[in-house]
Structure 1
Amino acid sequence: MKKILVASTALVAASMLSTGAASASEKIKLELGGFSKWWVVGAWQDDSYQANNNGTAGAQGDYNSVDIKGDNEIFFSGSTTLDNGMQVGINVELEAGGTTDNTADTIDKSNVFIAGGFGKVILGSEANGTVLLHVMAPDAAGNTDSDGLLTGGLAIAKPDAVQTQVVTSIDTDGDSEGVTYVAPTFYGLTLGASYKPNSTQDNRGATNISTNSGVTAGEIYGVGGLYTNTFSGVDFKLSGGWATYDVNSPAYSTPSKGQGVNEYAFGTQIGYAGFTVGGSYRKINAEGVAGFLQGDTWDAGVQYASGPYAVSFVYFNSQAEGSITTAGEDEFTVYQVSGKYTLGAGVDVLATVGHAEYSDETNLQQNENKGWMVATGLSLQF
């Protein structure tokens, strides 16, 4: 995989040199874009969980029944076309307040790209190729994945003891630095591949894949594909991806050798006459890798959109084992109804009603939580 990506990059460089002068007529000018989404959230946690807050017996907890949640980013992007027809550009995504993932990473993504008839090469901080091509269940309010109020654990508190996934895409590397190649679309089929030297974003130090400091993913290789087409008025999407990496852990004398993890992800959507049904599945296979999370995550949903209106129902489930020695599996379940009404270009009113439940394999009340959420919000895209 690494050799393939290096060869692809070499071909891109060779094509730049062989197609004549590569000077641009003018410098790249950055344009602004992004989104601002704010929610007013009503959430009700399980009484027994609050009585034994966050897994600590006897420690009382009391969560707000009303809260304000935001997710805002500003995009800086620009590109130029060289005299040989090749496009060169840059993308930077700035977290702009209301951060919902409790991180202090101001710059979410930062990368440059080269594009032409050969496809597109992305260098820097960006989701891997399998994530970029992934399809999942439709949601009218865009209120799923790691930024979802319920699926991301932002409304109903996630107990520390529950170790499950919150997304169906292979996001193990997050937005860490690497190189991604996306091939030109051919008869509806788009292929992509990525190499990430390290799973930690903003890692400027020399990468040591044999470090015994906790259980982490080392070098990551991944390939994915997306097929889209329309047959007799029926829109069809199908995605698939695979990634592999070794695991670093204090439990291994040679942590970077022979402790491989494989991940698989699939997704599909079918749309007709305003209706869209779809779902996705992710499998983490870490048999024999001590202390590393493994399990299955999937979602399924249906959406109907007509004019400015859209409404959807989504079911999400994740089960995991391997992080705790107790026999059994942790489980995380969400079901929600969402709606959207478009007031104007880039201005949407959103709403979601749903339920989330966390179950721990120990079956201790202080390690489990469940509750309902009602939320309404305003989404601006610019």
Structure 2
Amino acid sequence: MKKVLFGTTTLVAAGLISSTAFAGDVTSKDNLQLSIGGKMEQYFGGVGSFGDGGREDGMGINTDTEVYVNGMTTLDNGITVKAVIQLEAQTNSTINADEQYVELSGSFGRIQAGQKEDAASQLAVTAPTVGYVSINDTYTWLGAPVNGGTFAGGDTTWSSDDATVSYFTPSFYGFTGAVSYTPNPGGALVPGRGRGRDHVFMSVGYSNEFSGVGIDADVGSRIDTSQNAWGIRSGLNLSYAGFTVGGSFMGIAGDDTSETYVWDAGLSYAVGPYAVGFTYGQNDGAQQDGGATGVGHEASYMVGGSYNMGPGISLVGNVFYATMDGEKAAGNNDTRDGVGAVAGVVLAF
């Protein structure tokens, strides 16, 4: 959903997988096996504002449809090789591939190379959310005020599908360590130029269960070596008898970068095919040194529900209240708040 190395990457990768899948057996126990899957999400909703921020209210439709092509085999030395291509299918998308990467796994752990979110984002634990609409989505549906200053959304991860190399250790008593390197955020897997390059991510994740109580947690960091900027994030979820409670925090700061502090908290309950939940998120985006950039404050309250109609078919819905305040932005249209409702059907195949 972010960036693509080259427009032809998908065709080349698909060709390689197809040719290998039907080639003679050379070093693997079996030929590279192909599998196809995907998802289709269709949402309908609308928003009504109390403070319009220079924007209009109304109804809208959102869609997210992807086709997954996976190839996997296990070599004679025990190493599993997997190739993943996720194709965007909706017509309003200008990106032909969401993710495309190769993964090698074995007793040594896992190595990923390609367009895939960083390791810290993959291990990230966030507040339980029900309904498939995230805190960040509520701001997208409401729409930022015209003169709203700087807003960073409600995501407590650094998730992006930039060209990245990642390594994950084997799990040890529930602990997994990981590190990622992104040389050119927003670009190809080649040396970058200018500021904002060379991002390094490190994370430790934990997942275990004791006497029916599930524990999922993580602590991660991001270092932007070209700007002397850094970020930290952490999350914790506890689950028992269908209940899950938890939250997460992310902060970014640096010598000449805008400071951002985002956190979320939530509670959900699932029984049989039904699930309900409440999630709260807040973003306090600060300013560059000297106060050159307007401060942005965001908050969202969201209730969600879902019903699993059958394998791979779910009905989902969310009702939310969100507010965005530019605080230091010039002009009158620097705040917007309102309520919204979104319902949809989610298919996984």
**Range class of TM-score, shorter chain:** 0.7 to 0.9
Which of 283, 295, 298 is the matching residue for 1:332? 298
What letter corresponds to residue 272 of structure 2 in structure 1?
Answer: G
Q: What is the match of residue 242 of structure 1?
A: 221
The 1:104/1:371 distance shift into structure 2, 3 A limit, reads: same
1:243–1:264 CA contact under 8 A, matched in 2: yes
Q: How does 1:72-151 map to 2 (within 5 A)?
A: 72-97=65-90, 104-144=94-134, 146=136, 148=137, 150=138
Contact 1:350 1:376 in 2 (8 A): yes
CA-CA distance at 1:47 after TM superposition: 5.0
The residue aligned with 1:207 is 191
1:184-333 equivalent positions in 2, closer than 5 A = 184-201=170-187, 203=188, 206-209=190-193, 211=194, 217-246=196-225, 256=226, 259-286=227-254, 288-289=255-256, 292-323=257-288, 325=291, 329-333=295-299
Secondary structure of the residue aligned to 2:333 is helix
* TM-score, normalization by structure 2: 0.86
Q: Which runs of 5+ in 1 are unaligned?
A: 1-20, 54-61, 247-255
1:356 corresponds in structure 2 to: 322
Q: Give the drift of 1:208.
A: 3.5
Q: Distance in 2 between matches of 1:302 and 1:145?
A: 14
Counterpart of 2:161 in structure 1: which amino acid?
D
Aligned partner of 2:32 in structure 1 is 28
Of residues 368-377 and 124-133 in structure 1, the stretch that sits farther from structure 2 once superposed is 368-377
TM-score (normalised: structure 1):
0.79
Partner of residue 166, structure 1: 154
Deviation at 1:105, TM superposition (A): 2.3
Counterpart check, 1:368 vs 2:335:
yes
* Counterpart-to-counterpart distance in 1, 2:40 and 2:258: 33
* In the alignment, structure 1 residue 41 sits paired with structure 2 residue 20: no
Residue 315 of structure 1 deviates from its aligned partner by: 0.2
Distance 1:124 1:381, change over 3 A: same
- Tell me if structure 2 keeps the 8 A contact 1:268–1:279: yes
- TM-superposed CA distance for 1:328, in Å, is 6.9
The one-letter code matched in structure 2 to 1:228 is S
CA separation of 1:265/1:47 partners in 2, compared to 1, >3 Å: closer, same or farther?
closer
- Number of corresponding residues: 321
Note closer, same or farther for the CA distance 1:350–1:154 as it changes in structure 2 (3 Å cut): same
Query: What is the alpha-carbon distance in structure 1 between the residues aligned to residue 295 and residue 66 of structure 2?
Result: 36
CA separation of 1:170/1:47 partners in 2, compared to 1, >3 Å: closer, same or farther? closer
For 1:232, the aligned partner's letter is: S
Q: Is the alpha carbon distance of 1:361 and 1:217 closer, same or farther for their aligned partners in structure 2, counting shifts above 3 Å?
A: same
Cα drift, residue 368 of structure 1: 1.7
Q: CA deviation at 1:303?
A: 0.1
1:359–1:266: structure 2 CA closer, same or farther, 3 Å change rule? same
- Secondary structure of the 2:94 match is coil
Identity of aligned residues (%): 28
Q: CA deviation at 1:165?
A: 3.7
Q: For each residue in 1:57-104, what CA deviation from the matched residue of structure 2 results, as whole angstroms up to 9, or x when unmatched?
A: xxxxx34x22111112211112101111111110111112176xxx63
What CA distance in whole angstroms lies between the structure 2 residues aligned with 1:124 and 1:167?
Answer: 22
User: How far apart are the structure 2 equivalents of 1:327 and 1:26?
Assistant: 57
**2:41 touches 2:344 (CA, 8 Å); kept in 1?**
yes
Q: What is the match of residue 13 of structure 1?
A: none
Distance verdict in 2 for CA 1:270–1:47, change over 3 Å: closer
Please tell me whether the aligned partners of residues 90 and 111 of structure 1 are also in contact (alpha carbons under 8 angstroms). yes
